[in-house]
Structure 1
Amino acid sequence: NFQGHGVVGGHSDLPVKKAINFSPPLYRQRYSFVNDLVNQHKPKKVADLGCGNASLIQMIKSHSCLELIVGVDINKDKIGSQRCRLSPFSGEYLSPRDLNLSIILYHGSAVERDSRLLGFDLVTCIELIEHLDSEDLARFPEVVFGYLSPAMVVISTPNSDFNPLFPAVTLRDSDHKFEWNRKQFQTWALGVADFYNYSVEFTGVGEPPEGAGNVGYCTQIGVFRKIGAPATESCVAEQCGQHVYKIVYSVSYPSLQQKEVRKLALANEVSRQIQSMRQRYVSSLRILQRGDGDGHQVSDTGLVTFSGPVFTELEKRKIEKSPEPFRFGNKLYVPLERLLAYPKVNRLCDSVDTMRALIADTVRLSRDGSAVKVDLRDTSFDHNMEY
């Protein structure tokens, strides 16, 4: 079978030519191409026109640079079924993003103008244009390049030069209105780029089999970049007000910009570090003689091991220079400055005062509020340990 998205394979009664298998499947190669572009150019706002089942959005949403991802598709049922795949999972609340991220799926056509898609850094049109009839194809550049005018546009479409390699193909999908060869696509793309002040580079995915000759990639891709400065915020604001798309799904991801999310993540990380220190201290008690007495200073090597996450030398020195945890009676005290020295904690708050305010209602603090207090007799930590 031909493992490409929206592509028909060969017929079993025509064994003259071998079926072509792409690894990874062709649709994943297309999405990976876009994913690599996002990784390279770090856009904040991306729109996927003809997003289908939102697989591309699912692939790119983990990029930390993204703040808004929009998907648009004419098939309302298909995009409406993707809620579960795009919803944040519990781990994303415990390890939140640095920046806010919103994902919105719209029901609408790529040849309709909607001002909510103005000012984007990247617009992708993956296997879209071949589904447009001649009237919509004429409107497509006016909307995408003229009206939306993003910094970058990526368009992929079948390369009909490749089609003779398939056992029996006229059009790869029954809904395709046309399939261009490389010359046709490049002629169209260069004309659009010139008219709307873009540059364009051509590439593709889906290498032909060995010995197939110069047929090019199975999927041809044009990468368009806006020449000159992007539209200013005031220009974008002047065009606002055209809302023709209907929202099918919208979700906001947890981020450190949200106070309650940051509070939850910090409390979780602090508790994790405190429990780890307590367990290491409990282990050290096994080799100490009984009756150490109050005021015993816990050795740094007893509570800090640099296993697990990889610390840089600078991070290690920062931890080692911070005030050490200490035991007094049956209590273990971990200074907030010590906790702040750990990179994961430091990422979540920038000062001892901020930490104290965020964790005060989730942990027990010393009287002066400078340290977290842990009861070494707390059986919820280690019910088998005797003191």
Structure 2
Amino acid sequence: NFQCNSVVDGNVEEVPSKKVIKFNPPLYKQRYQFVKNLVEQHQPKKVADLGCGDVCLLAILKYQKCIEKLVGVDINEGRLKWNGSRLSPCVGDHLDPRELDLAITLYHGSVLEKDCRLLGFDLAACIELIEHFDSEDLAKFPEVVFGYMCPAMIVISTPNSEFNSLFPCAVFRDSDHKFEWSRMQFQTWALDVASRYNYSVEFTGVGEPPTGAEDVGYCTQIGVFRRKAEAAELAVLEHHGEHVYEVVSVLCILRAITSGFENFSSIPNLFFFFLLLQVYTTSYPSLQQINYRRRVVIYLVYREVSRLKQKYQVSLRQHELEPEFIAPGNQTGKFTSDLPVPVLTEDDKAMEIAPQPFCIEDKFYVPLQRIIAYPRLGHLCGNVEKLREFLGDVIELNCDGSAVKVDLNDCSDF
């Protein structure tokens, strides 16, 4: 059985009875890449990984700029606590903050529980999950994920049992698998679920079969479910107003709402709000947070003013060392060239008309109107007034606050 696991994960050992199949990249990476490609294509803001395990998929998706909320749910609390640190911001995230806010939360609990914090997601990933359910749990799964959570898109992957004949052993790929479906079995189940909950579904997979065995299909079969428009409207109406409790204490809320019920299973669905225990949460620095935005603006202004000052100093030295050359017929002394004039972009044109830096005695000035003309600074600040506010008392301005002021010959300015 261990040999089968190794084959699927791409870390294989030699088995003499059959030729070992190696996947490159390893199959688990292909599955994660499939989800990543979906995210890049559809740009979801809120993504949930149901059965997130060692959080590898979440660690990949946290770099997607479109995502603002990432949630992982798993029944194994120990794995969540052990791997949660992989999702924490690193030094680079503070030095170069992302554009949008990002919050990552891990919940310990069953994906078969109805928890209102999993409502309203754009994408839910169920990667190698359903084959771990017994028949009773498998029957609950569509009602919870498709009927209650009803995300805009759901991607489900599961082993293709037809591929197993190519492996050194013919048993299930994992000892915890309760079943492994053929393509026909999976597609029959998926089409029935899609029909019941008003989704469409498309089938694909990862893990190409070897030459000559194409008839077995992909090693991992995948269904991509998309919620239909009318289902989206019904979901909004059905779940509107269910977010009524603050997340103060999961245990206290459960204790309060279960008092008076002898049988926990008899609690009305209305009370299934916070059945998942939050074990980890973190927020990433972003340019939506004013302190990080200000820090980035100040850094960019420092960099641009330093670059302009250095360029001006170089031009002064060249002017002192080189005699002015005036070409015949060019009385202005300006350099002329027969080279074609480059086509200017909109950003180039904005810089052309922006006020130029200037020097008065030993002071070098860069107008704020020129600084704001740089595309990224213009995006971050919007207008000169906001730029002036960001600079505050950190960077010296001239008397009327219209330009950055630095000593021309002082290298310690920046």
**Post-superposition shift, 1:95?**
3.2
**Post-superposition shift, 1:260?**
1.2
Q: Give the equivalent residue in structure 2 for 1:188.
A: 189
Matched, 1:365 2:397: yes
TM-score by length of 2: 0.82
Q: Give the equivalent residue in structure 1 for 2:267.
A: none
Matched, 1:345 2:348: no
Q: RMSD value over aligned CA atoms?
A: 2.3
Q: Would the aligned equivalents of 1:159 and 1:181 in 2 still touch at CA under 8 Å? A: yes
Q: Would the aligned equivalents of 1:94 and 1:264 in 2 still touch at CA under 8 Å? A: no
Deviates more, 1:240-249 or 1:335-344: 240-249
Q: Would the aligned equivalents of 1:52 and 1:73 in 2 still touch at CA under 8 Å? A: yes
**Counterpart secondary structure, 1:82:** helix
Provide closer, same or farther for how the CA distance between residues 136 and 38 of structure 1 changes in structure 2, counting only shifts above 3 A: same
Give the aligned residue type for 2:398: S
1: CA distance between counterparts of 2:7 and 2:376? 41
Spell out, residue by residue over 1:180-220, the C-alpha distance to the aligned partner (whole angstroms, 9 max, x if none).
11111111111111111111111000000101140000000
**Post-superposition shift, 1:256?**
2.2
Provide closer, same or farther for how the CA distance between residues 164 and 64 of structure 1 changes in structure 2, counting only shifts above 3 A: same
**Counterpart secondary structure, 1:363:** coil
| Structure 1 outlier segments of 4+, above 4 Å | 1-12, 231-234
Q: Give the equivalent residue in structure 2 for 1:53.
A: 54
Q: Give the equivalent residue in structure 1 for 2:176.
A: 175
Q: Give the equivalent residue in structure 2 for 1:237.
A: 240
Provide closer, same or farther for how the CA distance between residues 319 and 156 of structure 1 changes in structure 2, counting only shifts above 3 A: same
Provide closer, same or farther for how the CA distance between residues 338 and 276 of structure 1 changes in structure 2, counting only shifts above 3 A: same
1: CA distance between counterparts of 2:385 and 2:319? 35
**Post-superposition shift, 1:233?**
4.8
Spell out, residue by residue over 1:18-68, the C-alpha distance to the aligned partner (whole angstroms, 9 max, x if none).
111111111111111111111111111111101112111121222222111
Matched, 1:140 2:171: no
2: CA distance between counterparts of 1:126 and 1:4? 18
Q: Would the aligned equivalents of 1:94 and 1:268 in 2 still touch at CA under 8 Å? A: no
Spell out, residue by residue over 1:282-311, the C-alpha distance to the aligned partner (whole angstroms, 9 max, x if none).
322322339xxxxxxxxxx9xxxxxxxxx9
Q: Give the equivalent residue in structure 1 for 2:331.
A: none
1: CA distance between counterparts of 2:391 and 2:383? 12
**Post-superposition shift, 1:255?**
2.1
Deviates more, 1:56-65 or 1:194-203: 56-65
2: CA distance between counterparts of 1:219 and 1:338? 55
**Post-superposition shift, 1:239?**
3.0
List alignment gaps of at least 5 residues for structure 2: 246-272, 322-334, 336-342
List alignment gaps of at least 5 residues for structure 1: 291-300, 302-310, 383-387
Select 2:299's aligned residue among 257, 268, 271: 268
Q: Would the aligned equivalents of 1:7 and 1:173 in 2 still touch at CA under 8 Å? A: no
**Counterpart secondary structure, 2:126:** strand
Matched ranges for 1:260-339 at <5 A: 260-289=291-320, 313-339=345-371
Q: Which has the larger radius of gyration?
A: 2
Provide closer, same or farther for how the CA distance between residues 4 and 198 of structure 1 changes in structure 2, counting only shifts above 3 A: farther
Q: Would the aligned equivalents of 1:119 and 1:150 in 2 still touch at CA under 8 Å? A: yes
Spell out, residue by residue over 1:235-257, the C-alpha distance to the aligned partner (whole angstroms, 9 max, x if none).
43333351011111111122222
**Counterpart secondary structure, 1:51:** coil
**Counterpart secondary structure, 2:215:** coil
2: CA distance between counterparts of 1:150 and 1:38? 14
**Counterpart secondary structure, 1:249:** strand
Give the aligned residue type for 1:354: K
2: CA distance between counterparts of 1:375 and 1:216? 70
Deviates more, 1:96-105 or 1:158-167: 96-105
Q: Comparing both structures, which one devotes a greater share of its residues to helix? A: 2
Give the aligned residue type for 2:310: Q
Q: Would the aligned equivalents of 1:105 and 1:249 in 2 still touch at CA under 8 Å? A: yes
Q: Would the aligned equivalents of 2:10 and 2:23 in 1 still touch at CA under 8 Å? A: no
Provide closer, same or farther for how the CA distance between residues 90 and 282 of structure 1 changes in structure 2, counting only shifts above 3 A: farther
Provide closer, same or farther for how the CA distance between residues 194 and 7 of structure 1 changes in structure 2, counting only shifts above 3 A: same
Give the aligned residue type for 1:270: V
Give % identity.
Answer: 53
2: CA distance between counterparts of 1:81 and 1:275? 45
Q: Give the equivalent residue in structure 2 for 1:215.
A: 216
**Counterpart secondary structure, 1:193:** helix
1: CA distance between counterparts of 2:368 and 2:10? 62
TM-score by length of 1: 0.87
Q: Would the aligned equivalents of 1:3 and 1:21 in 2 still touch at CA under 8 Å? A: no
**Counterpart secondary structure, 2:412:** coil
**Post-superposition shift, 1:76?**
1.3
2: CA distance between counterparts of 1:88 and 1:22? 31
Give the aligned residue type for 1:139: K
Provide closer, same or farther for how the CA distance between residues 233 and 90 of structure 1 changes in structure 2, counting only shifts above 3 A: farther
**Post-superposition shift, 1:2?**
7.2
**Counterpart secondary structure, 1:341:** coil
1: CA distance between counterparts of 2:99 and 2:239? 27
Q: Would the aligned equivalents of 1:204 and 1:221 in 2 still touch at CA under 8 Å? A: yes
Q: Give the equivalent residue in structure 2 for 1:21.
A: 22
Select 2:290's aligned residue among 239, 246, 259: 259
**Post-superposition shift, 1:105?**
1.0
